[in-house]
Amino acid sequence: MGEGTRARIQLHGRFAVRVDGRMVERSLPGRRGRLLVAYLAAHRLSAVDRAALLEVLWHPADPGGGAGAGFAALLSKARAVLVPIEIRGRGSLQIVFPPHSVVDADVAAAALHDAEVAASRQDWPRAWTQALSTLFVTQRQFLSGLDHPWVDVRRRTAQHDHERALACYAEACLHLGPAELPSAERSARRLVELQPLSEVGYGLLMRALAQRGDRATAVVVYDQLRRALRDDLGVSPSPATRDLFSRLIRPQQDGKVSPTFRARR
């Protein structure tokens, strides 16, 4: 958090609100107060209809009856706690942060975009740095401890962004030299763990293993992919992955493939 920052909102991991160095989320009016502020922070780019907020906060119960009066009291207490953060509006509401504030989800999203742009330009040091910045945030579950259908949706999106950052980070590591190969391998293995039917993680892992001279294990990884795709989807690895595998084992070929490097059929 840079000098002059007035507020910091943490949406990944335990929900937290820091205002001028003070942790204030515990002063919010209960679970609904925290959910209100978290929802507005997660949708901060546009105003949120009051009726939609009532459904979120009183889900799954019918938001009729005393929900309107309860919401008014909840909103009043939350506004008092959050100053200088503002919740503006009446029929629709929008949270507004003071200058120099930080929302961790914003930091992660901006860093991921920057990382992927840098990778497309083959600026691997920047891709490495920015992808790592995303991973620092997205490795924590979105709003852990708060359960709601909209939270589940955002968790899936955050998980997808985490996987994109892992892939970008591993790719950057592969281009930055031998010192980064262990990080490339760890990230690729994590991708395989998270997406056991996606060829991206397997391809990165095969390349990391081959670059450190362990082509035998790279072949094992290819065989794991081939069997997973066959058993679960009834398909074979894509032509691009088959070509990658062929290129990785080519240095070991001198007219015939050693049994050590032969994939099982």
pLDDT 10s digits, 163-174: 999 999 999 999
pLDDT at 250: 75
Residue 50 lies in a domain: yes
**pLDDT given at position 60:** 56
pLDDT at 64: 53
Query: Taking the mean position of all CA atoms in its chain, how far away is CA 249?
Result: 33
* Separation between Cα atoms, residue 32 and residue 24, nearest integer Å: 15
Phi, psi of 160 (to 5 degrees): -65, -40
Question: Hunting for tokens 């094992």 — which residue is that?
Answer: 220
The answer to whether the CB of 176 falls within 8 A of the CB of 131 is: no
Q: Residue 60 sits in which domain range?
A: 7-100
| pLDDT tens-digit map of 177-231 | 999 999 999 999 999 999 999 999 999 999 999 999 999 999 999 999 999 999 9
Query: Which residues, in sequence order, are CB contacts of 86 under 8 Å at separation 6+?
Result: 79, 95, 96
- What whole-number distance in Å separates Cα of residue 93 and Cα of residue 77? 15
Closest CA to 169 of 212, 126, 203, 199: 126
Do 115 and 203 belong to one domain? yes
30 Rama class: left (phi>0) / alpha (psi -120 to 50) / beta? left
Could you tell me the two tokens for 233?
């989807």
Phi and psi (nearest 5°) for 246?
Answer: -60, -40
Judged on CB neighbours under 10 Å (0-12, 13-18, 19+), 246 is exposed
Count how many domains the chain has.
2
Supply the pLDDT for residue 255. 42
What the block records as the tokens of 118 is 């840098």
pLDDT value at residue 249: 80
Q: What are the average pLDDT values for consecutive 10-residue runs of the chain, which has 265 residues?
A: 71 94 91 93 92 82 66 93 93 93 95 98 98 97 91 95 98 96 97 96 96 93 96 95 90 43 33
Assess if residue 188 is contained within a domain: yes
Nearest to 224 by CA among 243, 246, 198: 198
CATH code, domain with 58: 1.10.10.10
Q: What is the pLDDT of residue 264?
A: 34
The C-alpha atoms of residue 62 and residue 124 are separated, in whole angstroms, by: 52
Q: For residue 128, which of 142, 144, 116 has the smallest C-alpha distance?
A: 116
Domain boundary at 100, 133, 158, which?
100
Same domain, 54 and 121: no
pLDDT at 101: 93
The pLDDT, as a whole number, for residue 20 is 86
What is the reported pLDDT for 55? 86
228 with 127, same domain?
yes
Edge-first strand order for the sheet with 48-49 is 48-49, 92-96, 86-88
Co-location of 122 and 225 in the same domain: yes
Q: Are residues 95 and 154 in the same domain?
A: no
Query: Is position 2 within any domain?
Result: no
On whether both 210 and 181 belong to a single domain, the answer is: yes
Question: In this predicted structure, what is the pLDDT of residue 6?
Answer: 85
Distant-in-sequence, close-in-space partners of 200: CB < 8 Å, separation ≥ 6: 167, 191
Helix (H, G, I), strand (E, B) or coil at 144: strand
